[in-house]
Amino acid sequence: MKRRFEQLVDQHGSRIFQLARLMLQREDEAEDVAQETLVKLWRNAENLRQGEELPWLITCTRNACLDILRGRTRTRSLLQLVVSENKALNHADERGPAEEMHIDERTRSLRAALAEMPEPARSLLILRDIQELDVATVACTLELSENQVKVYTFRARRQLRYRLEEESNAQVA
């Protein structure tokens, strides 16, 4: 069981961490979610059948992220915003200048716009376009048909594009 657990962590660990990071936009929270998911995987590894692991892991991670996001909207206050802004700034300070240069404005705005997308559009874009998961796995995870996954991804991407264009136009104006 331990070997299987280690294999699954090696195979999918990065994927679940990336999903959490893109959904939450916070490194510390994403780490907590990934850790929690791995512990749950250990507890449930025996009951998971071959091939079911990835959809299970994604569902688990996504649900944990959605819980945090719901909690954020409930308890959002000025103080919390100030704290998280300071944290973000501190994280930025920790990065070296060379690394800072690589993170361009476009990527940042893309991530921010993605984080603000409603569900399931955000999850679809992360899973299909960023993580390039196959349609069947995403359909299984989000409980949609394969055609729905394709069409909803198309719509989500277009919605994201319009948002980015509006943002860009507003900055120019």
Provide the binding-site residues for another protein, judged by CB under 8 A: 9, 13-14, 16-18, 21-22, 31, 34-35, 38-39, 42, 106-107, 110-111, 114, 125, 129-130, 132, 147, 150-151, 153-155, 157-158, 160-161, 164
The dihedral of CA 26, 29, 35, 38: what is its sign? Answer: negative
80 versus 107: smaller Cβ distance to another protein: 107
76 versus 158: smaller Cβ distance to another protein: 158
Residues 152, 121 contacting (CB under 8 angstroms): yes
State the nearest-atom distance from the C-beta of 106 to another protein, in Å. Answer: 8
State the nearest-atom distance from the C-beta of 155 to another protein, in Å. Answer: 7
C-alpha to C-alpha distance for 125 and 36, rounded to whole angstroms: 23
State the nearest-atom distance from the C-beta of 42 to another protein, in Å. Answer: 5
For the chain, helix (H) and strand (E) counts, in that order, are 9, 0
State the nearest-atom distance from the C-beta of 164 to another protein, in Å. Answer: 8
Nearest-5° Cα angle at 37, 46 to 54: 65
DSSP assignments along 65-132, one per residue: HHHHHHHHHHH--HHHHHHHHHHHHHHHHHS-HHHHHHS-HHHHHHHHHHHTSPTTHHHHIIIIIIS-
92 versus 151: smaller Cβ distance to another protein: 151
114 versus 140: smaller Cβ distance to another protein: 114
5 versus 69: smaller Cβ distance to another protein: 5
Nearest-5° Cα angle at 34, 31 to 71: 75
State the nearest-atom distance from the C-beta of 23 to another protein, in Å. Answer: 12
